[in-house]
Structure 1
Amino acid sequence: MVTIIQWNARSIFSNAAAFEQLLACENADMALISETCLHPTRAFRLSGYELVRCDRNQSTGGCAIAIKNPIPYTVIDTAIPERWKQLIQLVAIKVVIKNQPLHVASIYFSPNFPRGMNDWEGILTQLPHPLLLGGDFNAHNLSFGGLYTDNRGRKLADVQDIMGLSALNDGTHTYIPRPNQRSSALDITFVTAVWAPECYWEVLENPCGSDHCPIKVDIKKSDSTPSAVQVGGWNIKRADWDKYQSAMINQLEDFNTETNSLPYHEFTEIINKAADESIPRKYANFNVHRNRRQRPWWDLECNGANLEYLGKFRHYRYGGNFATFLSMSQSQAVCRRLFKRKKKENWKTYCENLNRTTPMTEVWRKVRSIKRGIEIKKRSTSE
Structure 2
Amino acid sequence: MNSLIQWNLNVNNLKPSIICLQETNLKPNHNATMKNYQGYFKERQTNPNRASGGVAILVKNNIKSSPIPIISELEQLPSPYIMVGDFNSRNTNWGCNHTDPRGKIIEKIIDDENITLLNNGTFTRHNSSKGTFSAIDLSLASPSISPYLSWEKQSAYPLQHKQMEPKKSKLDTIFRHSRQKSENQMLNNELNTDDIDTIVKQFTSIITEAAHKSIGKTITHPKKTPVPWWSKECNNAIKNYKKALNRYKKTKTIPDHINFKKAKALSRRIIKHQNIESWKKLINDLTPNTPIKEAWKKIRLIEGIQFNETPQTLTIGDKTYHSSLEKAEALAEIFEKNSSDENYSPEFRNSKSKNETDNPITKSRLNVIRAISNRTWGANSIIIMRTYKSLVLSVIDYGSVIYGAAPEAILKSLDPIHNQGIRLSIGAFKTSPIPSILCEANTPPLEIRRNMLTYKFALKRLADKNNAISPYLFNTSPPSLHLKKNQPISTRIKKWLDTTNTPLPKLLSPTPYIFPPWKMNLNTNTSMIQEIQNIEPSEIPKHFNDIILKNFCNHKIIYTDGSKSNVKTGLAIITDEETFKFSSLEINSIFTIEALAILKAIELTEQNWKNIKSFLIASDSLSSILAIQNQGTANEIIKNIQERASSLAPRSVTFMWIPAHKNIPGNEKADVAAKEAASTNINIPKLDLSSFKDTARNSLINSKKIHQRLWDQELNNKLHKIKPFLSPNPNPPSSTRRQQVIWTRMKIGHTNISHVHLMRRESRPNCEFCNSAPISTAHLLLECSNLSEQRKIFPHLTLRDILTNDCTFFSAGISDISSKKQSDTSCGCKNGRPKQYCNHFPSELLDLYILTSQHFDGNKQNTRERIILIGRSVMSLALFLHALRII
TM-score band by shorter chain is 0.3 to 0.5
TM-score by length of 1: 0.41
TM-score by length of 2: 0.18
Higher helix share: 2
Higher RCO (CA-CA < 8 Å; seq separation 6+)? 1
